Structure 1
Amino acid sequence: MKIVSVSVLLVDEPAVEPAFRWRDGLPGSDGPRVGAWLAIETDDGMTGWAYTKRGIILQDLIERRVRDELLGEDPARREWLWHRLWEIDRIEEMPIYIQGLVDEALWDLAGKRAGQPVHELLGTYRDAIPAYASTVTFGSIEEYLDVADQCLALGYRAIKLHAWGDARRDAELSLALRDHVGPEVDLMYDGSAGFDLADAVYLGRALSEAGYRWYEEPMREFSVNAHQRLAERVTVPLLVAETSDGAHMNTADFIASGCAGAVRTSTSFKGGITGAMRVAHLADAYLLRAEVHGGGLPNTHLCMAIPNTTYYEALVDSNPVERAPEVGPDGMVRAPTTPGMGYEAAWNNSAPPASVSAGVRRDR
């Protein structure tokens, strides 16, 4: 079995309606953009798929560097190919999600060949997981409280705030939300790397007082030492190593420093399924949780495969709130049952993505 084609199939993504925003300083939902499907085909006619919203970047790197490394290789050698892409990254400094996309497509192929969902290949731990509502940034404390009520009524088991990026205002919101929902609902806060150490400490003390489950990405993750200092000053658990490069290698530094209350893992920012599983196993060795960042099919399989994660992250990007389609009325997300990642089953439930029939194909 050999890889005979590596294609990038571009697709125009319309602007999100209604538009939403993140904290001050970050781009919001943006306007129209170009996404892309990565398609890796083998000599026996099978195709592995992966998707990104960063289509132009993917197309450039596949055409300029990555395709030549994949053509003619055995797609079952996922571990070797994962290491090979790290060798290329040493010179190219590729976005880590590019490595993740290649790895996801190879796992999709492996699941199809075995006739099993990816999570079964990994060794399924669970068949369902509760979802938390991960908010975008809303306009006022009152609106957040209304959104929280809607989320709980729709079955979500917990709520994570993305707020304004103002430590004092966010602290006020965090305390108000705890008072509003009571002590039994899990609450989390995501700083989206918006603070320096002083402001991170100020907000962290409010989150500690309010009993939040975790304090996620409070600062840019270039400085492990700054996170160590923050952990010495607050009692809320820090959820770290979300976007830092280096997959398990960089995550290990956060754990060794003692600052990690838990770590992030994901298919996007840890080099696909292969890298995400490394992070989960590393965390498990220290009896830490590896909380899965972001939704979508690859991360759904990841949630089902690892024991040390708590929730599935479901984005809440509108008011009125609409429950994410993968979340049931009971607030649970269930394991995919079709072979591979299951993209084809998702297409059959609606319509195939435009790129599958009309995408830009670049084979060689």
Structure 2
Amino acid sequence: MNSKIENIRIHCFDYARDRIIGDSQIASSRVWIGALEIFDGDGLSGLGFFQSLTAPLPNASFIRQLLEASGIQGMVNQAPESLIHQVTRPRGGNIQSLPYHLDQAIDQALWDLVAKRAELPLYQLLGGTESKVKAYGSGVCFHLSDEQVFDFYSDAIKHNFSGYKVKVGHQDISRDIGRLKQIVEIVGQDKLIMVDANEAWSPKEAIAKIKQFEGAGIPIYWVEDPILRTDIAGLKEVKQALTNTHLNAGEYLNLAGKKSLVDNDAADVINIHGDFSSALRIGWLCAEKGMPIALGNTPMEMGVHIASALPEVLYTEHSMLNWDYIVDSPFNINQGYIELPSQAGHGLTLSKDAIAELKPSVS
């Protein structure tokens, strides 16, 4: 296809979550998610998602103004294939990211559109061959009561995940240990348990906490982001002190930050998210060193396409969030694996019924 990009459309949604999600630092009770569509001259479209966790999104017209101020109009009359491979040369004030993960939304929409134009499922366009990827269940459950945790994980085990992640980082270690024991009892002792502290600890605290979990009879497969993201020396200290637990880091870092983790051997597992272009780059670096990758939460789990394409990916996260309410056909989970769609693109389309019911702002 030779048609160029013609226009974009933006939806901004606001609706209640089916549970409070959060970690040791934040809590969220509403879904503030936006959808960005990029259209070419043949009527094909690519879809990407942006979001806010802590405050409502602005309306769609304001988001459009942000994008126009950042130069998105320069995409019009361009071939999307050229944009996904474009290497820019940022200098000074150009070194900045758009708010609300809008950069990722543009990237996702472009890759979706290019895959549709190539008439390939996105994972195949990315070089993947696996039509399903291993997932772990994640409750994002720090603020839930014991009763709510019981209900969530009792339902989650129907998917037969081989691993489950638990939010930790409470000031009272006995609360974390009690939560972990509760979840192990629900999911079974044969399942892997991961913990995510969301930077709650210092290096020495992180080492002590993990050893306390182990001393309480709870083996930890990996600890995610135990300390400040930029403390490379501290991450190396934690990594070297933990003999049975892997260190997972990189969720909050950009591509340069993730590269620093790889170069300094400061993590056992590199955590990546929903930016396809950056994922391919860090995937190459990890493959060169044989360093494992974990896919964190991505909108509607679209990161499964990356997980299929990168050989070092161990797991992709599935938090069973109701943000997939706004799409027609969420990805299916079967015996602990997320199944990839067979249609061209990433396989997600906005639900007309959800748009009619939720009445998002549109621009």
TM range (shorter): 0.7 to 0.9
Distance (Å, rounded) in 2 between the aligned partners of 1:158 and 1:207: 17
1:186–1:212 Cα contact (<8 Å) kept: yes
Q: 1:253 aligns with which of 247, 260, 265?
A: 260
What residue in structure 2 maps to residue 321 of structure 1? none
What residue in structure 2 maps to residue 307 of structure 1? 311
What residue in structure 2 maps to residue 166 of structure 1? 171
Distance (Å, rounded) in 2 between the aligned partners of 1:152 and 1:352: 28
SS at match of 1:116: coil
Question: Does residue 1:223 correspond to 2:231, yes or no?
Answer: yes
Distance (Å, rounded) in 2 between the aligned partners of 1:286 and 1:167: 38
Structure-to-structure mapping, 1:128-143, within 5 angstroms: 128-137=132-141, 139=144
In structure 1, give the amino acid aligned to 2:276: I
- 1:333, distance to aligned residue in structure 2 (A): 1.2
What residue in structure 2 maps to residue 360 of structure 1? 362
Of Structure 1 and Structure 2, the greater strand share is in 2
Question: Does residue 1:157 correspond to 2:162, yes or no?
Answer: yes
- 1:287, distance to aligned residue in structure 2 (A): 1.1
Distance (Å, rounded) in 1 between the aligned partners of 2:331 and 2:84: 30
Question: Does residue 1:276 correspond to 2:283, yes or no?
Answer: no
Please give the TM-score of this superposition, normalised by the length of structure 2. Answer: 0.81
Q: Deviations over 1:144-179 (max 9, x none)?
A: 466544433442221100135336132454356557
1:240–1:264 Cα contact (<8 Å) kept: yes
Q: Deviations over 1:325-353 (max 9, x none)?
A: 63435232111111112223x74xx7364
Structure-to-structure mapping, 1:179-198, within 5 angstroms: 183-198=189-204
Q: 1:298 aligns with which of 297, 302, 312?
A: 302
SS at match of 2:313: coil
- Sequence identity, in percent? 18
Distance (Å, rounded) in 1 between the aligned partners of 2:308 and 2:65: 33
- 1:288, distance to aligned residue in structure 2 (A): 1.4
SS at match of 1:51: strand
Structure-to-structure mapping, 1:32-181, within 5 angstroms: 33=32, 35-54=33-52, 55-56=57-58, 58-81=63-86, 83-84=87-88, 90-95=94-99, 97-137=101-141, 139=144, 144=149, 147-163=152-168, 165-166=170-171, 168=173, 169-174=175-180, 177-178=183-184
Distance (Å, rounded) in 2 between the aligned partners of 1:25 and 1:189: 15
1:38–1:49 Cα contact (<8 Å) kept: yes
SS at match of 2:88: helix
Please give the TM-score of this superposition, normalised by the length of structure 1. Answer: 0.81
- 1:139, distance to aligned residue in structure 2 (A): 4.4
RMSD over equivalenced CA pairs, Å: 3.2
SS at match of 1:20: strand
Q: 1:262 aligns with which of 269, 292, 295?
A: 269
**Residues matched between the structures, number:** 343
- 1:11, distance to aligned residue in structure 2 (A): 3.0
